Amino acid sequence: MLLSNFSDKKLLELYLNGNNKSFEYLLNRHKVKIFSFIMSKVKKKDIAEDIFQDTFIKVINSIKKGKYNEEGKFLPWVMRITHNLIIDYFRRESKMRKVRVTDDFNIFDFLDNGNKNQEEILIQQQVYSDLSFLIEELPEDQKQVLKMRYLHDMSFKKISELNNISINTALGRMRYAIINLRKLAKKQHINLQVK
């Protein structure tokens, strides 16, 4: 049977059983979409090629370590890895721009003019997406206080009244929510820094 007739899941099974040709076929099936996505963000072919290569090195390593468990969702999983590598690239670039010393040093290179560029918007969107995911992992009482405080901009007095708890309890739940968010982010290797 031709490899082209197999699903992504079946091709991955074959690859894990030693059929390297199946992964090559899987790569060819999705490479145009993935590379186009990278190019749309970084706009430079050589950088896009590096990120594309890094993506598949990470994909192969993750599969071999048994970290792939997205049933039938191979492409979205790869796109998430790709997205994270693009963000890592922009973070590195941003740091390099801030510390680069040249003869034509200009203080204005270090000042934030308030305008967000494409990279910063992308990083911010990723951080918000990751944060939303982590908040859903919190215990219900902590999640509720956190959402009321930050999404609905409620005072702790109002939160305590609506939940029929003391202000100290509301403050305690918020404190634990933040501690648990940090732990979850660390455990899942999620960077919540915008810059």
Residue 32 has pLDDT above 70, yes or no: yes
CA-to-CA distance for 130 and 192, rounded, in angstroms? 7
d(C-alpha 40, C-alpha 13), whole Å: 31
Give tens-digit pLDDT for 79-132. 888 988 988 888 877 655 544 444 444 444 444 444 556 666 777 777 777 777
Of the candidates 99, 116, 130, 123, the one whose C-alpha atom is nearest the C-alpha of residue 41 is 123
Topology of domain 1-111, per CATH? Rna Polymerase Sigma Factor; Chain: A (1.10.1740)
- The total number of residues shown for the chain amounts to 195
Euclidean distance between CA atoms 77 and 63, whole angstroms:
11
Q: In this structure, are residues 54 and 27 in contact, taking their beta carbons and an 8 Å threshold? A: no
Question: How far apart (Å, rounded) are the C-alpha atoms in residues 89 and 96?
Answer: 11
Q: What is the architecture, at CATH level 2, of domain 116-195?
A: Orthogonal Bundle (1.10)
Q: Where in the chain is the domain with CATH 1.10.10.10?
A: 116-195
> The pTM is what?
0.52
CATH 1.10.1740.10 domain locations along the chain? 1-111
Q: How far apart are CA 167 and CA 190, in angstroms?
A: 31
Q: How confident is the model at residue 141 (pLDDT cuts 50, 70, 90)?
A: very high
